[in-house]
Amino acid sequence: MPQPAQTAERGTPRGPSAPFRPGPLGRLGGWSFRRRGLTVLLWLLAIGIAFAASAAFGAKYTADYSAPGSDSQQAQQLLARDYPGQAGDTISVVVRANGPVTTDAARAEVADLLRRMAAVPHVRSVDDPYGPRGAVSANASTALGVLHLDVDNAPDMPNADTDRLLDLARNPGGGLQVHLGGKSVQQAEQGAIGSEGIGMAAAAVILMITFGSVVAAGLPLLTALGGLAVSALLLPALAALMPVPDWSTSLAAMLGIGVGIDYVLLLITRYREWLAEGLAPQAATVAALDTAGRAVLVAGLTVVTSMLGLFTMGLTFMRGAAFAAIVSVLVVLAAAGTLFPALLGYLAPHLDRLRLPRLGRRGAGPAPAAAPAREGGRWHRWSRFVQRHRVLAAIGGTAVLLALAAPFLDVRFGFPDAGNDPAGRSNRIAYDTVTTAFGAGSNGPLVLIAEPPGGAGAAVPALRELAAAVRATDGVVSVSPLQPSADGRTVLFTAVPSTGPQATATEDLVRRLRDRVIPAYARGLHVHVGGATATAIDSSDNIAGRIPLLIGGVVAMSMVLLLAAFRSVVVALKAAAMNLLSVAASYGVVALVLQGGPMGRLIGIDTPTPLPAFVPVLTFAVLFGLSMDYEVFLVSRMREAWLTSTDNAESIVSGLASTARVITAAAAIMVAVFAAFVPAPDLPIKLIGVGMGSAILIDATLVRLLLVPAVMHLLGRANWWIPAWLDRLIPQLHIEGHADHYRRAADAADATEASGRAGVAEDAGPAVRALEPQG
């Protein structure tokens, strides 16, 4: 077994004649501290450039949720090519009257209403409820018409125009009751909340409680805001290069705010420790960037690596969301390495100004120098408790995680629809009314589109036979007449299922039509089954088939990064296993709220709701990276202590005691930021907020503060084992930095001050001067 202390210092010059030179991060931090004005000016310039790029090249956010090459995607492409009037977004117009809707008076009122709606911008055409493409219920209580829009996707429909349609529907006249349904209506009714602002406000409160000072609390917020300003302005320009879903802006904001504040929190904590060790502000800044900055860099790159795993899914909207998140993380990393030390240069003498009564103590921070590790300290006592009860802690922690994950076994995948909207909204009422009047399947008809090799004319008899076979299939209520395209290349008809879009029976019907009915009756015709329901089925199947690639790729890349960082096979394997457990536990929490019970109603989910398949995929990539952050923060301090003492037990105790407070504070901030997105009206964002918030809470408490140290105590010195051949193969990252050099520099500064020579720590001799390189 190689000696870790020697391994970590391989290639580092020894002896008094070898001058110490800080690493790149330390030199960058020192440069930014000294040239703080120029650094801040460069960040303001970056914001201006990002704004100009967004204004000049910014595009609308778009997303294609169909599975590449799927049957439903081919149907949608043919529909867009040959039936452009039906390929765009639509709004259902559901009409009820005090009496039958078929009276002359009701017809006249409906016609007048539709005429006024047709005059609203973006309404391309109207299907009259009483015409061949409309519908009237069997008891004549309800009529159903459709507004065809000239936009392909709901995000392209201005909410102001949808609101005009909703206003017309609220006051139709003639005793009519009119409700509108569709994605555009859902979007307009959802509105928006300032989740980003709520998250920042919550983080500010936690930081002020942690530091007890407005100035100290403001430093991480200012750094995160600087990074968020640049990344947010770059996203519209990114949308011009690739499809980027509109909800990715919220995802990027979540990550930018959360990791930006967390990373600076770790840096400022280490900065305070170096101040307490005896270094002056500039030297302490260099030391913080050269030690904790390395952990921050590895943590950020781990998040980026995890997000790169989304590229294995082969979905354009996943790539767009991944790019948005990666841009956000990289920008806040840059802010942590440059903007933070620059702001620190201005604020260092004033960190304890504007103190709040009874919050914190003078000079306090998340982890004042050596305070958490002192004998008798709260976190030191906790660390000793875990050491004494390591077997019980390991078994109990694992059991709790598995219990939390259990509800995920019963989760139902699918795309939520208007039936999952809050009660009382027009979109939900329209959905329920259609279900009552026409059957649940009317909310998700299947679109069948055929490509006859010899044109529509010659294929009509065969297509009529196919339509009759579809109509006779179990689970089909009705089939529309055949509709040839204008050029005769394709023929379209729809089939209405007897069950709703989310029902398992509807999924079975789609598979039965594709696998049995169409092959038996198509007779050489190319017939595709599409529509929103079929698209949701194909997308879920496509994602499920690629999940093993995502998990395998993300876990493998993260383990390689951890191997290079910690020079330990066991640490990498343990981190992967712990992260998978914490992610599974968060999935269980999400599955629990989706049941629509008391927990679901707390966040606005009052009906059993399916889980969009892309949500657990996306959250897995994000959470695996974020969980690694806390692993890096914790284990890097353990490794630093191990390299000094080679005492495994004491390294774990001191590493946990030294980081427990900062991990707790960082997790509280991250949970608050994610929780701010839970009230979001968009269900995927709501679920991502629930999943990520619960995962961070579980990971930073149950996993990092209990399970990880307990397992490491059980493993003993095997924690730091790496085969010699692998040690030579993997590059050195020196994640722990060269803390011993800075401690010697601090001791030299103290000795110089004590002897009355050279008055300030920055001029305390070669060891300290090396921390602040000139030029």
Rounded alpha-carbon distances, angstroms, from residue 141 to 10, 171, 196: 83, 19, 45
* pLDDT of res. 327: 93
The number of CA neighbours under 13 Å toward the Cβ of 761 is 21
User: In whole angstroms, what is the distance from residue 204 CA to residue 239 CA?
Assistant: 31
Give Cα 336 distance to the centre of its chain: 21
The type of residue at 595 is Q
- Residue 763 DSSP code: G
Phi/psi region, residue 94 (left: phi>0; alpha: psi -120 to 50; beta: rest), is: beta
Beta bridge partners of 96: 142, 177
Q: Which residue has the tokens 């959470």?
A: 623
* DSSP tally for the chain: helices H, then strands E: 30, 10
Q: Which residue has the tokens 């002897």?
A: 755
Neighbours of 10 (CB within 10 A): 11
| DSSP-assigned states of every residue in 492-528 | EEEEEESS-TT-HHHHHHHHHIIIIIHHHH-TT-EEE
Residue 764, helix vs strand vs coil = coil
Residue 271, helix vs strand vs coil = helix
The sign of the dihedral angle between the CA atoms of 307, 309, 311, 315 is negative
The type of residue at 184 is S
717's CB contacts (< 8 A; 6+ apart) are: 1, 648
User: In whole angstroms, what is the distance from residue 398 CA to residue 708 CA?
Assistant: 10
* pLDDT of res. 20: 66
- Residue 242 DSSP code: S
* pLDDT of res. 753: 56
Q: Which helix (H) or strand (E) holds 671?
A: helix 648-675
Tokens of 756: 């009355």
Q: Which helix (H) or strand (E) holds 491?
A: strand 491-497
pTM score, two decimals? Answer: 0.77
Nearest CA to 286 out of 742, 754, 752 is that of: 742
Nearest CA to 447 out of 497, 502, 508 is that of: 497
Pairing relationship of beta strands 135-136 and 90-96 according to DSSP bridges = unpaired
The sign of the dihedral angle between the CA atoms of 385, 387, 388, 389 is positive
Burial class, 389, CB count within 10 angstroms (exposed 0-12 / middle 13-18 / buried 19+): middle
The type of residue at 83 is Y
Nearest CA to 618 out of 252, 258, 327, 330 is that of: 252
Tokens of 378: 């709260």
356's CB contacts (< 8 A; 6+ apart) are: 208, 212, 213, 214
Residue 115, helix vs strand vs coil = helix
Beta bridge partners of 94: 144, 179
User: In whole angstroms, what is the distance from residue 10 CA to residue 734 CA?
Assistant: 10
Tokens of 333: 């990393």
Neighbours of 45 (CB within 10 A): 10
pLDDT-flagged residues of the chain (< 50): 1-18, 360-374, 757-775
Residue 142, helix vs strand vs coil = strand
Tokens of 294: 């390395």
Beta bridge partners of 476: 497
* pLDDT of res. 512: 94
Helix ranges (DSSP H) in 58-140: 71-82, 84-87, 104-118
Nearest CA to 680 out of 249, 183, 155, 180 is that of: 249
Rounded alpha-carbon distances, angstroms, from residue 10 to 217, 647, 724: 39, 20, 13
Nearest CA to 394 out of 716, 720, 708, 715 is that of: 708
* pLDDT of res. 9: 36
The type of residue at 102 is T
- Burial letters for 446-458: b for 16+ Cβ neighbours within 10 Å, e otherwise? bbbbbbbeeebee
Give Cα 138 distance to the centre of its chain: 46
Residue pair 643/739 in contact (Cβ under 8 Å)? The answer is no
Tokens of 745: 């520099």
Can you give 682-748 as a three-state secondary structure string? Answer: CHHHHHHHHHHHHHHHHHHHHHHHHHHHHHHHHHHHHHHCCCHHHHHHCCCCCCCCCHHHHHHHHHH
765's CB contacts (< 8 A; 6+ apart) are: 745, 748, 749, 752, 758
Rounded alpha-carbon distances, angstroms, from residue 20 to 108, 289, 766, 770: 89, 15, 9, 6
Calculated CA dihedral for residues 181, 183, 189, 191, nearest 10 degrees: 180
Tokens of 768: 């300290």
Nearest CA to 238 out of 404, 61, 375 is that of: 61
246's CB contacts (< 8 A; 6+ apart) are: 61, 63, 155
Tokens of 81: 């090519």
Neighbours of 194 (CB within 10 A): 10
Please provide the CATH number assigned to the domain covering 89-191.
3.30.70.3400
Helix ranges (DSSP H) in 494-613: 504-512, 518-521, 532-566, 569-594, 598-602
Neighbours of 21 (CB within 10 A): 15
Tokens of 564: 């290079």
